[in-house]
Chain A
Amino acid sequence: MFRTIVRKEIAANLLSYKFAIVILLASVLISTSLFVMGRDYRSRLADYQLIRPKPGEPIAVLPPHPLSVFAKGLEDAMTRSFEIETIGIDARTGRSSANAVFAFFPAPDFVYVVKVVLSLVALLFGFDLVSREREAGTLKLALANPVSRATLLAGKWTGNFLSVAVPFLLVSGLGLALLALVPGFHWSGPMLGRLALILGASLAYIALFLSLGLFVSAMTRRSSTSLVVLLLLWALFVFILPNLGTLLARQVVDLPSVKAMAEKRQQIWTREVLLSISERGSRDARIKAMNEEFDRLEEDYRLRFDRLVRLSKILNRISPAAAYVYAATEVAGTGIGEESRLKEEVIRYKNQALAGLSRDRTAPSAPAFVYRYRTVGEVLAAGGLFDLAWLVVFALALFAAGFAAFLRTDVR
């Protein structure tokens, strides 16, 4: 019976206008996004060939990460060029800093398409799961057969989930195949594993919104009401909550502004230059004192910033969209956790390079910077698993609530 219901749902969906338009939207967006971001990756790769440090240069630059095509995350911050100088780390930004339009709108990567568009698609499949059949009068006919409400609901959910998930996976697969044609793009085994994990998180995220649709649909009598509620909830979850959460966290954590940090450094530098002139011969001692003070400032700033990141994570996770973004970007190696870790490594590299940095800047002899991305296991242990589990638990809870509401529904 379960399979009959699933088959009926899929067949009904396949013939609908909804399916046609939604699949059109998803395929156009996913393929456009992968194409554009793939080309962007290629040009960043070409840039990297220009800027990669020559042997001995005290510069730390990471090559662009292939998975940033899927989840851009903080890639722009991570692929900066960190140049070690006697007075600290000079960070140079890549191209996206030049064009202010980049700063106005978030990157249209795969994760963005799933976060915004696929969640909407899932809602559109879920909003009339129960109410449409009730309106059409077929719900009571279906239940006149010897089928339990649980089977009926599970069958409907599965049928609709497959109607979204299968085309989604097909289109993603097609996009991947196209990406493989981009020169310079190499797939490795572990990378495919990470990608599979991102796709898994995306499916959990889609399932969550389908369950949300099911829940609201079972709670409301008319499908138009259910749609209104769902669209507003969607805007809240996807756009408003995660972004307000970060701002709210800023009001709790006392973090100096980036401008204040930059000015502080200039001031300390100025002071030490003047002092080193008035006390002749103290130049090296002064530079050392200055670097120590910079390090202290830096450490204090990082501590506070980490606190801000932790708090904003807790607040933002109220929204499943934020949990999904956290999970996907961390798995892709472009998340905020990876970025903090990279910074720690750059600081360690700075101390190492400064010790051997010769006065003669034309013949540098620093060790090469080596960075090892966290393994998937480490990412999962550092919070990725929590985000994934949170998505699944959220989805299950919504399904259970939908089921409870459906049990008490008058199907006439």
Chain B
Amino acid sequence: MLGLIALKEIRNHLLSFRFLAVFVLLLVFVPATVLILTNDAVRQQDDYSRRQAEIESYLFRYAHFNRLGGVVQPSQPPVPFLALVRGLTADPNLGSFDDDPLPIMFPLVDLTFIVAVLLSLAALIFSYDAVSGEREDGTLKLILTNGVRRATVLFGKILGGAAALFLPFLTAMSAGLIVILLNPRIAWRGSDWGALAGILAGAFVYLGVFVGLGILVSSRHSSSSASILTSLFVWVLAVLVVPNLSPYVASLLKPTPSTISVGREVARLTDIERDELGRKLSAERRAAVLRENPVLEGVERMGEGEIQAAIGRDPVFAKAYAIFRKESEAAWTEANRIQNAKAEVLRGDLRRREEAQTKLALALSMASPFASFTYLAADLSNTGMRNNLHFGRLSAAFWTSYGEYARKKMGEMRAANPTVDLWNTAVDVRDMPRFVYKEEALASRFKAAVVPFLLLAGLALAVFVASVLSFNRADVR
């Protein structure tokens, strides 16, 4: 009986105008969106490889340790998934004067957005009159005069509605995937397809929530026109309002100190104040060395050439000069350490508060299935917050190996020439370790997606139970 009812529902939908409209719209806009996103992803890949080549050529020609760290800063390469999901990858880069604020005005459209907005709307369109429509037509009581349980009728309707929704979605998706497959520049690997499967599973549950919601509302209303209004009311709140309000509410509940004033204070501590302290400390230590080593008399007024000559001439001078230099460097290291520790206190406090606020905003927003699905898709596709953290960890590892390399290289430079200016001398760094971005393993991405997925599944279940309960009590006449 369940099969019969589901089949009847599917046939009904297939012949309806709304099915045709949704089908045509998706079939046009999903492939069009994927095509535009794919071209954009290829453009980003080109940009990335051009930039890397540029960095290499600079390293070859102008590398010196004073500014090297600025040039080799790690950057995130475009992931192949950009052809479908954008997440947080739109970069307005407000931290720089050459920014690109357009994505703030008009956020990008991607697969997540199409599923989350267009398809959830379509889910409501398919289900808003599932019960009330039949009640209005008078066929609902006829169905129930057969030996069929109410729950069976409801499940049949849910199955039928879901099938009618997924048919156009999957067709349009396949068309979109063909666009990706046909593009030789977008090379998806096994893990990408795995992530896609995860995102589609999330999409099914997400859309299930809205099919269920439509049926729930429909069995509580006596007229279809009232039913669509209530459904849209809930939809607007859940999809378009709660997620947008949540970061603002979180920032009111858990405020953070002004990032600009903390940033300025940190800059002052590690720059102007550091220089003052460094000058003071190194003057003290150098004076002490000068007192103990009279041979160095007048060294602070000697030029580079004179010092070299003196070192060659006099082994005592050479030994004393080495101590002199070491003490001076140690003073600056000490000044850096003290000032960085002060700055770290400020930065750490800011970071902790920001993390607390972000966590609260995430928790608040996940009351909305839209936000849960958005996070799920972004994390699975390596375009979300999780990837930002992952990238941060990779960068930190890179900076550690860079530090080791710099120490080793400077040791070599000093061995070759004890008076060399370690920071401001051209150096060949072609043997330097390069930053390599590796996507996070699929398994741990799936682990991260478990929470939003369970939230969605729980919500879907709750909506279904509620719709069964309210249909059981509905007056079908």
Binding site for B on A (CB under 8 A): 17-18, 21-22, 24-25, 29, 32-33, 36-37, 39-40, 43, 47, 50-51, 61, 73-74, 76-77, 80-83, 88-108, 112, 116-117, 120, 124, 128, 223-225, 227-229, 231-232, 235-236, 239-240, 242-248, 250-251, 255-267, 269-271, 273-274, 277-278, 297-298, 301, 305, 308-309, 312, 316, 322, 325, 329, 336, 339, 343, 346, 361-362
Q: Please tell me which one of the listed residues B73, B98, B105 contacts residue A301 in the complex, with CB atoms under 8 A apart.
A: B98
The answer to whether A274 touches B426 (Cβ under 8 A) is yes
Sample of 17 further A-B pairs with CB below 8 A, known A77-B99, A108-B241, A257-B44:
A33-B245, A99-B251, A101-B247, A105-B107, A243-B109, A246-B103, A246-B106, A250-B43, A256-B47, A258-B99, A261-B98, A262-B93, A263-B54, A266-B67, A269-B67, A274-B62, A336-B105
> Given A108, A262, A336, which contacts B96 in the complex, CB threshold below 8 Å?
A262
Stretch at the interface among B170-178, B257-265, B405-413, B452-460: B257-265
Judge whether B272 and A361 touch: CB under 8 Å: yes
Judge if B68 is at the interface, Cβ distance under 8 Å.
yes
Contact A244 B101, CB 8 Å, known A17-B229, A51-B260: no
Bound Cα distance A112, B96 (Å): 27
Q: Which residue among A124, A128, A263 has the maximum number of chain B CB atoms within 10 Å of its CB?
A: A263
Q: Residue on A with the closest CB to B363?
A: A101
CA distance A262 to B94 in the complex (A): 11
Q: Does B339 contact A (CB under 8 A)?
A: no
- Per-residue CB contact flags for chain B residues 85-109 toward chain A (1 = under 8 Å, else 0) read 0001011111111111111111111
Q: Would you call B388 an interface residue if the criterion is a C-beta within 8 Å of the partner chain's C-beta atoms?
A: yes
User: Which of B39, B62, B233 has the most C-beta atoms of chain A within 10 angstroms of its own C-beta?
Assistant: B62
CA distance A243 to B259 in the complex (A): 30
Look across to chain B and name the residue whose beta carbon is closest to the beta carbon of A259.
B75
CB distance from A51 to the nearest CB of B (A): 5
Contact in complex: A21, B229 (CB < 8 Å): yes
User: Is B311 engaged at the interface, CB distance under 8 Å to the other chain?
Assistant: no
A94 touches B21 (CB 8 A): no
B107 touching A243 by the CB < 8 A rule?
A: yes
Q: Does B467 contact A (CB under 8 A)?
A: no
Docked complex Cα distance between A112 and B43 (Å): 31
Q: Which of A21, A112, A255, A266 is the one whose CB lies under 8 Å from B244? A: A112
When distances are taken between beta carbons in the complex, the residues of chain A under 8 Å from B37 are: 247
Q: Find A228's partner among B104, B125, B232 (CB 8 Å cutoff).
A: B125
CB-CB < 8 A to A24: which residues of B?
233
Number of A-B contacts (CB under 8 A): 307
A214 to B354, CA, bound (A): 48
Chain B residues within 8 Å of A51, by CB:
258, 260-261, 264
Question: B374: shortest Cβ distance to chain A, in Å?
Answer: 6
- Residue among B61, B113, B236, B371 having the largest count of chain A Cβ atoms under 10 Å: B236
Q: Which residues of chain B from 97 to 146 have any CB-CB distance to chain A below 8 Å in the complex?
A: 97-109, 113-114, 117-118, 121-122, 125, 129
Residues of B near A298 (CB, < 8 A) are 97-98
C-alpha spacing A82/B93, complex, angstroms: 14
Size bracket of the B interface: 35 or more
Which of B25-33, B191-199, B208-216 lines the interface with chain A? B25-33
Q: Is the CB of A99 within 8 A of B361?
A: yes
Chain B residues with CB below 8 A from A329, complex form? 105
* B18 contacts partner chain A, Cβ-Cβ < 8 Å: yes
Q: Which residue of B lies closest to A343 (CB)?
A: B97
B219 on interface, CB distance cutoff 8 Å: no
Contacting pair A25 B233 (CB below 8 A): yes
- From 216 to 257 in chain B, residues with beta carbon under 8 angstroms from any chain A beta carbon are 224-226, 228-230, 232-233, 236-237, 240-241, 243-252, 255-256
Interface status of B51 (Cβ within 8 A of chain A): yes
- Select one of A73, A89, A244, A325 contacting B36, CB under 8 A: A244
What's the least CB distance linking A274 to chain B, in Å?
Answer: 5
Q: Does B382 contact A (CB under 8 A)?
A: no
Q: Bound state CA distance, A61 and B117, in angstroms?
A: 37
Whether A270 lies near B36 (C-beta < 8 A) is no
Contacting residue for A43 out of B51, B252, B263, B378, CB 8 A: B252
Chain A residues in 8 Å Cβ range of B248: 36-37, 39-40, 107-108
A11 to chain B, nearest CB (A): 18
Interface centre among B61, B98, B247 (most CB of A within 10 A): B98
B226 touches A274 (CB 8 A): no
Give min CB distance, A115 to chain B, whole Å: 10
Q: Are A305 and B100 in contact (CB under 8 A)?
A: yes
Contact between chains at A124 and B232 (CB < 8 Å): yes
Q: Does B152 contact A (CB under 8 A)?
A: no
Q: Judging by beta carbons under 8 Å apart, are B62 and A98 in contact?
A: no
